[in-house]
A and B are shown apart, each in its own frame.
Chain A
Amino acid sequence: MQLTLWTYEGPPHVGAMRIATAMRGLHYVLHAPQGDTYADLLFTMIERRGQRPPVSYTTFQARDLGGDTAQRFQDTLRDAHERFRPQAILVGASCTAELLQDDPGGLARALDLPVPVIPLELPSYQRKENWGASETFYQLVRTLARAPAAPRTHGRPLCNLLGATALGFRHRDDLREVRGLLQALGIGVHVVAPWEATPDDIARLPEADFNVVLYPEVAQQAAAWLQRRFGQPFTHTVPIGTAATRRFVDEVAALAGVPVPPGLVSPRATWYAQSVDSTYLSGKRVFVFGDATHAIAAARVAAHEIGLTVVGLGTYSREFAREVRAEATALGLEALITDDYLAVEEQIAALQPDLVLGTQMERHIAKRLGLPCAVISAPVHVQDFPARHAPQMGVEGANVLFDTWVQPLMMGLEEHLLGMFRGDFEFHEDAPASHLGRSHAALPDRAPLPVDDIPIPAPPSAVAAAAGAALDRAAGDGSPAWTPDAELELRKIPFFVRAKARRNTERYASERALTQITVETLYDAKAHFAR
């Protein structure tokens, strides 16, 4: 038994639902108890679909367990076929039905329906959602794909786009980006699957020249089978990030035998990352966690395209643990392979990164720890199925990544500035917006302050007095005390490095057993640490 507060992935039958819901003309009959329909609302609410998933549930109850659950399954299957008239049907069991003795495949065969019925064996107590999606897609392809009747008389090269599903993180928009790239290369898209494909489309997959695997978690197994069975090669590069998109373009161009037009992959993000405003991003420490594909891609983009320092990399996708480990090793890290969000939280808390790139869970962990965060991978909540075009892949994807990841950092910097300036006479928390001018110095719901009462910077004498007080306080605890002159000099240093200068000077003085910090000490320390 595993104690779980949060799960990154649902059970494998939810993976099968993601395939069925992505497709057209396919129906899934699921042997499941009352309540398992909760999964419908992942599609209708999180992804905001306007149709119910094409899934019929047997909804067996305790009183059925004596014997007629098999009959219920057959009745549900027959009704679903009559009502929806699908081109093909998936049948399977959810976790509870897996414990019963009914055999959905055998029961379906006995009904002898006039359409292909594909039984799914999804071991709920060993496997999870992505595995379920991959297995379902593989079984569909295995069962339905047909050798082309005749070799195609060659026009332009054709490929299939494989892996986009319902409830996939940005799958809708990634497809549009990748289609655009292929079009620019003069490569035709034969079938997109499972996204909006019919079972007939699946049957036509082998007619294409090669396959583009967009999401290995879902499509690699099916693509590998298509390669073995029909000799279709498939792509291994996932075009997330500028460099990966360039490699992807080269890969598909080579498979299709077409040239790559110059300047095809030139996202604005490349220049944005080079522009001086981005200099402060250098060396920012980032923690990356997600599904294997997005985590690996994000680590590369962070390190090589935005110039961050990756301090942690991990995934919940055990199926692709090897790939993530290899990527982590290349970055000099040890990969975190876990589906326990407490372990992820522990590592983030220990690393205290400047930015967290992760899933919905990391977003909440980061919020709790007060760290900036951006979402790069499923599982995600409703806000990450946006109305606007927001791909992760291709040229526009690279732009989206830059904006999405840098924004929380910018906000982090703003927050930092606000903290720095808190108490500043014209930039304190009750200050009105500066564009409202002096005449609006008081907020409408407050009594207006007489102009004389507006705090003004303390005169040097007051600062000196305050510094003197500080000197008195400091004298007692044995740490070096600041002379009033030194304290005044310190205040001339820009605020954003002042704290560091104070710390360094005090350290310098302590190490040398000085009891007083003078202006000389301040500059001695500056020179010392500048070396």
Chain B
Amino acid sequence: MITIRPVGAGGCTEAPVLRERGQREVFCGLTGIVWLHRKIQDAFFLVVGSRTCAHLVQSAAGVMIFAEPRFATAIIDERDLAGLADANAELDRVVARLLERRPEIRLLFLVGSCPSEVIKLDLGRAAQRLSQQHAPEVRVLSYSGSGIETTFTQGEDACLAALVPGLAADDRPGLLVVGALADIVEDQFRRLFDALGVGPVRFLPGRRATAMPGVGRGTRYLLAQPFLADTARALEERGAQRLPAPFPLGVEGTTAWLQAAAAACGVPRAHVDAVLEAPSRRARDALAAHRSHLAGRRVFFFPDSQLEVPIARFLARELGMSLIEVATPYLHRSHLAEELAWLPEGTRLAEGQDLERQLERCRSESPDLVVCGLGLANPLEAEGMTTKWSIELVFTPIQGYEQAADLAALFTRPILRRHALAEH
């Protein structure tokens, strides 16, 4: 089913969105575990699911699984399917064994999967029961990373939204940055906020379960990631207010994002400009080399992480690329309002996916660069297209000034490589 909305003027604020349903070549929300467990250092993620879930997590985590990983799967077997009471007892046994093995764990997430959702195993209640059993050492929360409900990065949204009700009440004024960022990026932002005189600034998630930020009526929050719809709603239920801003990708995005925070805290514009002048100039200089390789090239985005719109905006405005199609698994209009206004008018936006049709569109456009998942990348390369595999955009530090050129380099590299290999 395809719905076309009427065309409006200026950016893509009122642009029509191609809505498709069909086969989706995307990860489920369980994949979020792979980076979330690196961020929250004393949390453990226990997927309650099937062998497929275990296989997916291990395929996505690659070799990381061996560094005493803080994630595992409780594999449901046929005995569990026989009766629900049994399954709860089994889960308690597995959790007890796990916590015995890993006494340093302070926060345990029970992560729901498609099988656990379909058999209606109540993980919320299980988390409450287990929290009581293992208090005060371990807190147990639950969220769903199932494919039937979440796409890839939405797993982080579900996880953070599960954290919000347990955050300490704190009505004092303060800024909360929401979304897991690489530690190095978080530290850079912290230094910039300090220099701007914005604060106190806290980050969600915190690096430790025991050091999560508080939230309350004085909290203004800034989304660092575009895929946090449920987390934002949960924060607003706690009285926090969102600061509308584009996302901190590229020089423009980062500047506007920091400006939004500074403006909300009443920092004079002249001071903001003075603080941001040096780092933004450095980032712009670093981008220049990439611009010469990317300007004028045509890029096609398959849906993956919801980062597609802000990244496409960066590629178009700061690197001069032209956008053929920007597809996202889910388009949150109000969170993306600033981004959509910045997208070049006439950009084809798509939400959802019907894989075979989208592949037909992609082939017929013969783009210079295709941003897609690893299931599609090699097959499209074999067809002669140049691809950039999209998962890297989630695992690599890309936000902020110092990473702007790194982000551009992710797109330059495959183009230069194809060129280098074709020369001989």
Q: Does B129 contact A (CB under 8 A)?
A: no
Contact pick for B375, options A5, A41, A76, CB 8 Å? A41
Does A95 make an interface contact (CB < 8 A)?
Answer: yes
A506 to B310, CA, bound (A): 72
Pair A4/B52 contact, Cβ less than 8 Å: no
Q: In the bound complex, do residue A125 and residue B94 qualify as a contact, i.e. CB atoms below 8 Å apart?
A: no
Assembled-state Cα–Cα distance A50/B97 (Å): 43
Chain A stretch 390-430: residues in CB contact (< 8 A) with chain B: none
B55 within 8 A of A: yes
Asked if A40 is at the interface (CB within 8 A of a chain B CB), the reply is: yes
Evaluate contact between A52 and B376: CB separation under 8 angstroms: yes
Question: Could you tell me the distance between the alpha carbons of A40 and B52 in the complex, rounded to whole angstroms?
Answer: 13
Interface flags for A24-60 (1: CB within 8 Å of B; 0: not) read 0000000001111111111011001111100011111
Residues on A with C-beta less than 8 A from B375 are 37-38, 40-41, 44, 52
Instruction: Choose among A35, A51, A62 the residue with the greatest number of B CB atoms under 10 Å from its CB.
Output: A35
CB-CB under 8 A for A41 and B55, given A2-B74, A35-B147, A368-B66: no
Beyond A35-B147, A62-B149, whether A6 also contacts B58 by CB under 8 A is yes
- Check if A38 sits within 8 Å of B114, measured CB to CB: no
Known: A33-B28, A44-B374, A57-B23. A7 touches B50 (CB 8 A): no
Q: Which of A5, A57, A60, A62 contacts B72 (CB 8 A)?
A: A5
Q: Smallest Cβ distance from B30 to chain A, in angstroms? A: 7
- In this assembly, does B171 line the interface, its C-beta being within 8 Å of a C-beta of chain A? no
| Inter-subunit contact A4/B91 (CB<8 Å) | no
B127 CB to closest chain A CB, in angstroms? 16
Say whether A128 faces chain B, with CB atoms less than 8 Å apart: yes
- Complex: how many Å from CA A44 to CA B25? 13
Q: Are B75 and A34 in contact (CB under 8 A)?
A: no
Point out the residues of chain A lying under 8 angstroms from B54, CB to CB: 4, 6-7
**Pair B118/A99 contact, Cβ less than 8 Å:** yes
* Interface: A65 (CB within 8 A): yes
Q: How far is the CA of A41 from the CA of B380 in the complex (A)?
A: 13
Verify A37–B25 contact, CB threshold 8 A.
yes
Decide: B74 and A59 in contact? CB cutoff 8 A: no
Known: A2-B74, A76-B23, A124-B51. A7 touches B58 (CB 8 A): yes
Q: How far is the CA of A60 from the CA of B118 in the complex (A)?
A: 12
Tell me the smallest distance from the CB of B356 to a CB of chain A, in Å: 6
Q: Give the complex CA separation of A71 and B60 in angstroms.
A: 31
Whether B75 lies near A4 (C-beta < 8 A) is: yes
Residues of B within 8 A of A152 (CB): none
Q: How far is the CA of A195 from the CA of B31 in the complex (A)?
A: 32
In the docked arrangement, what's the CA distance between A126 and B110, Å?
Answer: 23
A240 CB to closest chain B CB (Å) equals: 27
Shortest Cβ gap from A110 to chain B (Å): 21
Question: Closest residue of chain B to A84, judged by CB?
Answer: B356
Task: Please pick, from A61, A83, A94, the residue contacting B356 in the complex, using a CB distance under 8 A.
Answer: A83
Size range of the interface on A? 35 or more
Q: Is the CB of B87 within 8 A of A1?
A: yes
Q: Are B90 and A45 in contact (CB under 8 A)?
A: no
A364 CB-CB contact with B under 8 Å: yes
Q: Chain B 42-68 against A: per-residue CB contact (8 Å), 1 yes, 0 no?
A: 000000101110111011101101100
CB distance from B228 to the nearest CB of A (A): 19
Known: A3-B94, A51-B379, A59-B24. A96 touches B118 (CB 8 A): yes
Q: Beta-carbon contacts of A1-23 to B below 8 Å, as 1s and 0s? A: 11111110111011000000000
Asked whether A50 lies within 8 Å of B23 as measured between CB atoms, the reply is no
A14 CB → nearest B CB, Å: 7
Question: Are B50's CB and A125's CB within 8 A?
Answer: yes
Pick out which of these stretches binds chain A: B76-84, B133-141, B286-294, B399-407.
Answer: B76-84
A99 and B119 within 8 A (CB): yes
Pair B26/A1 contact, Cβ less than 8 Å: no
Distance between B55 CB and nearest chain A CB, rounded to angstroms: 4
- Which residue of the partner chain A has the closest CB to B86? A1
Complex CA gap A469/B59 in Å reads: 57
The reply to whether A38 and B379 form a contact with Cβ atoms under 8 Å apart is no
Q: Which of B25, B31, B66 has the most CB of A within 10 A?
A: B66
Cβ B146 vs Cβ A128 within 8 A: no
Per the bound structure, the CA–CA distance linking A95 and B56 in Å amounts to 13
Q: How far is the CA of A94 from the CA of B146 in the complex (A)?
A: 14
Q: Do B56 and A35 have beta carbons less than 8 Å apart?
A: yes
A524 on interface, CB distance cutoff 8 Å: no
Report Cα–Cα, A505/B31, bound state, in Å.
59
A331 to chain B, nearest CB (A): 29
Q: Is B381 on the interface with A (CB-CB < 8 A)?
A: yes
Q: Are A61 and B149 in contact (CB under 8 A)?
A: yes
A37–B373 Cα distance when bound, in Å, is 10
Cβ–Cβ < 8 Å partners of B24 in chain A: 34, 37, 57, 59
Assembly CA distance A520 to B285 (angstroms): 78
In the complex with contacts A50-B381, A99-B115, A36-B72 CB distance below 8 A: no
Judged by a CB distance under 8 angstroms, whether B27 is at the interface is yes
A368 to chain B: which residues have CB within 8 Å? Answer: 66
Give the residues in chain B near A57, CB-CB below 8 Å.
23-24
- A58 to B, closest residue via Cβ: B23
The residues of B that contact A52 with a CB separation of less than 8 Å are: 375-376, 379
Contact B148 A61 (CB under 8 A): yes
Contact A1 B378 (CB under 8 A): no
Asked if B148 and A4 sit within 8 Å, CB to CB, the answer is no
Q: Is B165 an interface residue (CB 8 A)?
A: no
Complex formed: what's the CA distance from A217 to B74 in Å?
Answer: 26
A62 cross-chain contacts in B, Cβ below 8 A: 117, 146, 148-149
Q: How far is the CB of A5 from chain B (nearest CB, A)?
A: 5
> B77 contacts which of A41, A45, A126, A364 (Cβ < 8 Å)?
A126
B270 to chain A, nearest CB (A): 47
| B35 CB to nearest A CB, Å | 16
Known: A3-B72, A36-B52, A37-B375. A42 touches B26 (CB 8 A): no
Please measure, in the bound complex, the distance between the C-alpha atom of A50 and the C-alpha atom of B29, giving whole angstroms: 27
CA distance in complex: A7, B58 (Å): 8
Question: Whose C-beta in chain A lies nearest to the C-beta of B79?
Answer: A1
**Min CB–CB distance B188 → chain A (angstroms):** 31
| Of the residues B63, B66, B72, contact of A4 by C-beta under 8 Å | B72
A264 within 8 Å of B by Cβ? no
A50 touches B55 (CB 8 A): no
**Does A100 sit at the interface, judged by CB under 8 A?**
yes
B65-112 at interface with A (beta carbon < 8 Å): 65-66, 69, 72-78, 80-81, 87, 90-91, 93-94, 97-98
Which of B55, B66, B78, B375 has the most chain A CB atoms inside 10 A of its CB?
Answer: B55
Min distance, Cβ A382 to any Cβ of chain B, angstroms: 10
The reply on B218 being an interface residue by CB < 8 A is: no
Selected from B27, B52, B65, B378, the residue in CB contact (under 8 A) with A5 is B65
Q: Is the CB of A4 within 8 A of B59?
A: no
Contacts A5-B65, A37-B24, A38-B56 known; A95 to B51 CB distance under 8 Å? yes
Indicate which residue in B65, B80, B114 contacts A35 across the interface (CB closer than 8 Å). B114
Q: Is A79 among interface residues, defined by CB-CB distance under 8 A? A: yes
Interchain nearest-CB distance for A491 vs B (Å): 42
Contact of A100 among B65, B72, B73, B118 (CB under 8 A): B118
Partner of B78 from the list A40, A79, A125 (CB cut-off 8 Å) is A125
Whether B382 lies near A41 (C-beta < 8 A) is no
Interface string of B364-385 (1 = CB under 8 A from A): 0000000001111111011000
The chain B residue with its CB closest to the CB of A123 is B78
Q: Does B166 sit within 8 A of A, measured CB to CB?
A: no
Besides A1-B74, A1-B80, A38-B27, 16 other CB < 8 A contacts? A1-B75, A1-B77, A2-B75, A2-B77, A7-B51, A34-B26, A36-B28, A40-B25, A42-B59, A50-B378, A50-B381, A61-B147, A62-B148, A62-B149, A95-B115, A96-B118
- What are 7 A-to-B residue pairs whose CB atoms are below 8 Å? A1-B80, A5-B69, A10-B55, A50-B379, A52-B375, A79-B356, A128-B51
By a beta-carbon cutoff of 8 Å, the part of chain B in contact with chain A is: 22-31, 48, 50-52, 54-56, 58-60, 62-63, 65-66, 69, 72-78, 80-81, 87, 90-91, 93-94, 97-98, 114-115, 117-119, 146-149, 151, 356, 373-379, 381-382
Pairs A-B, 8 closest by C-beta atoms: A35-B28, A35-B147, A50-B382, A40-B375, A96-B114, A95-B50, A34-B147, A1-B90
